[in-house]
Amino acid sequence: MTSERLGKNIAIISAAALLLAACSTTPEPTTDTSASTETSQDSSQASGQPTQPTTAPMTAEELDAQKWGGSSQDGLTAFAGDRVFFEYDSSEITDEARRTLAKQVEWLMHYPRVRVSIEGHCDERGTREYNLALGERRANAVKNYLIALGVPASRMNTISYGKERPAVVGNGESTWSQNRRGVLRVQ
């Protein structure tokens, strides 16, 4: 998941760099003779065309989308990531999860009308009933942490999928660790 997030961040930075490069212009060289400068200015004004190409400034919405990613699921994922991970048989928020959740709070506060559903997921070990309960504890742990950081409870709901919707199928800790997660879904 980290490489996927890194790839998205690189793509966003690359797009921003291309956008900035496209907006830049190189000034035309000027001559020392004022007569030739006045003549070229007069002719460009007479024709109604500027001497240098101009670019339209970005709108507030475009600037907002560039920084925050927009108010969609893709925007949340690009800005902060949409998931946090848990240790085996635990619903305790890890330090890494706290950092991700803090970024998610930033994004949620920027988009105060956005509502999210918080999904709790588990790995395949354990019974269906146990994993549904653990997934619920995980989703509630994420919700309570977001509330503690200032997100109104009315903007969030929770659901547990237990082990029913794995992100990755397979056996072993590397697979299981990716399935023990809490995911924010923009509604």
User: Domains of the chain: which residue ranges?
Assistant: 1-57, 60-186
* N-term to C-term CA, the chain: 22
Tens-place pLDDT, residues 108-120: 999 999 999 999 9
Q: Is the pLDDT of residue 79 over 90?
A: yes
Mean pLDDT of 84-100: 98
Encoded amino acid at 163, one letter: K
Fold of 60-186: 60s Ribosomal Protein L30; Chain: A; (3.30.1330)
Q: Is the pTM of this model over 0.75?
A: no
Cβ–Cβ < 8 Å for 54, 24: no
State the pLDDT at residue 58.
74
Tens-place pLDDT, residues 109-152: 999 999 999 999 999 999 999 999 999 999 999 999 999 999 99
